[in-house]
Chains A and B, each alone.
Chain A
Amino acid sequence: MRIGQIIGSVVCSNKADALYGVPLLLLQPLDEAYQETGIPLVACDTVQAGTGDMVLYEGGREAALALENWFNPSDATIVGIIDKAEGL
């Protein structure tokens, strides 16, 4: 799992079937100093994260397994909202 921050949301009315009903959020990956690193991703949400929340997100095959319907094209899924972390 990696750490990121929610900076917005993305609305797609036309998308893969498996993504219907799945909120898409704009996620900025963070580095060890909790600063922006890399480009923002679009991640599927499973924990009702809001803009500004620091979150845990999973990549790879596990991102798809985090959703109800396992056969989905997600490669980044938010799996937790961070309350506290070292240096945060």
Chain B
Amino acid sequence: MILARVLGPVVSTVKIRSLEGHKLLLVRPVRPDGSFTAKPVVAVDTVQAGKGDTVLVLDEGGSAGIILGLTGQPVRTVITGIVDSIENKENDNDKRG
């Protein structure tokens, strides 16, 4: 999974059946310090994330199918969690051990 920030909702009424009933959010991958690292992607939301949230995004078909209960469907990018906090040992000054 990768870290990403929710930029906002995406509305698409004409779409394939397996996407119907799912909320779509525009998310953009970020580094742990919050800076953007790649282009935005559109993800299926399963945790009611909102604009500005930092979220966990899964980008792999098999697991996406398991989470959404759709096997063999063309859905790959799924939001699986809302991040409360990130502890990043890399840029902590007091390196223990």
Contacts and interface: CB of A to CB of B under 8 A. Distances in A.
Given A37-B39, A79-B15, A56 B10 contact: yes
Contacts, number: 88
Contacts of A66: 16, 74
Interface of A: 1-3, 31-32, 37, 46-48, 56, 58, 60-63, 65-66, 70, 77, 79-87
Interface of B: 7-16, 19, 24, 26, 28, 36, 39-43, 51, 61, 72-77
Given A1-B43, A62-B74, A79 B19 contact: yes
A58 to B, nearest CB: 5
B75 A62 contact: yes
B42 A3 contact: yes
Contacts of A37: 39
B74 A85 contact: no
